[in-house]
Amino acid sequence: MKPQVVEEGVLEFERARRAIGMDNTVAGLASIEKALSCNDDMRWYSYLGFCVAKERGQITRGTELCMISLEHEPGNPEHYVNLGKILLLSGKKAEALRALREGMAQGGGPELIALLNQFGNRKSPVIPFLPRTNPLNKILGLLLHRIGLR
């Protein structure tokens, strides 16, 4: 492959990352597809997967592309961010949280931390010596929340 074609692909990929970072996934999708036509790099598939899932609604295809990137480069937390975003789009909050936590174990990053902070923290149980799943804790927690004391 010619070096100028590879360089053009890298420039398009950077353009796609900037567009995605500014929440312009339409432009990001166009740039990432152009970058992949110049240089088929599996590390870029997670970005393509996120754009395809968000813009075209192809959640399954987007998840598959992210998994390919993760198999090729498992230590890159950006792939976990993209996978987490796709899972959030599909309504799978628990799986998204799991993916984001795995990304934190791989080194994290500001975007990953921001996504995790959107989930928030749980309050401690009303009766701390009982498990959170105990019906008494659940009922008291709901009741106190409804009357505004919690």
pLDDT category of residue 127 using cuts at 50, 70 and 90: very high
Q: Is the same domain home to 125 and 115? A: no
> What secondary structure, in 3-state letters, does the chain show?
CCHHHHHHHHHHHHHHHHHHHCCCHHHHHHHHHHHHHHCCCHHHHHHHHHHHHHHHCCHHHHHHHHHHHHHHCCCCHHHHHHHHHHHHHCCCHHHHHHHHHHHHHCCCCHHHHHHHHHHCCCCCCCCCCCCCCCHHHHHHHHHHHHCCCC
Q: Is the same domain home to 108 and 129? A: no
Residues 13-56 pLDDT 10s:
999 999 999 999 999 999 999 999 988 888 899 999 999 999 99
Spatial CA neighbour of 40 closest among 16, 63, 87, 6: 6
Q: Is the same domain home to 115 and 125? A: no
Q: Is the same domain home to 107 and 127? A: no
Q: Is the same domain home to 106 and 127? A: no
Q: Is the same domain home to 128 and 107? A: no
Q: Is the same domain home to 147 and 85? A: no
Domain count, the chain: 2
| pTM (predicted TM-score) | 0.80
Domain extent for 88: 3-119
Note the pLDDT of residue 24: 94
Q: Is the same domain home to 146 and 87? A: no
Residues 105-125 pLDDT 10s:
998 889 999 999 988 888 899
Q: Is the same domain home to 91 and 134? A: no
Above 90 in pLDDT, residue 150?
A: no
- For residue 89, what is the domain's CATH number? 1.25.40.10
Above 70 in pLDDT, residue 94?
A: yes
